Structure 1
Amino acid sequence: MAISSAGLLRKIITTKEATALVVIRGFAAGGAKAKKGGKGGSTADSPSVSALSKEIKSSTVIGANIFKDSSDPKILSDSEYPEWLWHLLDKRPPLSELRRKSIETLPYEDLKRFVKLDNRSRIKDNNTLKVKS
């Protein structure tokens, strides 16, 4: 769209044509229509309240289907999911906190994280030194 509109702008010679182009160009659908009911009111085009039952909402993951010919996946019991899934949102310590601790006492996962973050920090420092010189 940007390339085609840039081509159109090159063809415009006078400012009169440019103002005509600006006047003709509108916004997204429904932008020029006045809303009914004022602020926060419903419009005629707004979707109606969801007709799904509470049972379907509580037993399926609505909107998670990525296939055309399939239905939304069902919610399983907690025991049917892998153990690592429940630890994805656990807070992990930042580099500053890992540097304060003794390396010998860190668990393996924290040690891996420390090495990764420390390498990343050193690379950033070296890159800023190269830019300055």
Structure 2
Amino acid sequence: MFRQVLRKFSTSRSSLESSCKEGTKMNLNIYKNGKPIIALKDEEYPDWLWGLLDKDLQMEELKKEDWFKYNRKIIKKQNIERIKMNNFMQNMKK
């Protein structure tokens, strides 16, 4: 219970809200005879779930955990941007 109270006042979780109301059937069954999956309250989900779609947060966590993998991603993004710019400039010359 104390953990749930802290989550409500936690600054780590932004003001995101789920798109489903509590008790909504999710239709995510993969088994024929499985129980229907029902949406929970937002407070019942773990904090890390709300940061999955935040790319900046994911990159910061990757930077802390695996700097080499983070660096490779940054270099790859820079190379893609450089290639796009070179292609654009080649089209401008024509």
Question: TM-score higher than 0.5 here?
Answer: no
Provide the TM-score with structure 2 as the length reference. 0.38
Larger RCO, structure (CA 8 Å, separation 6 or more): 2
TM normalised by structure 1 equals 0.30
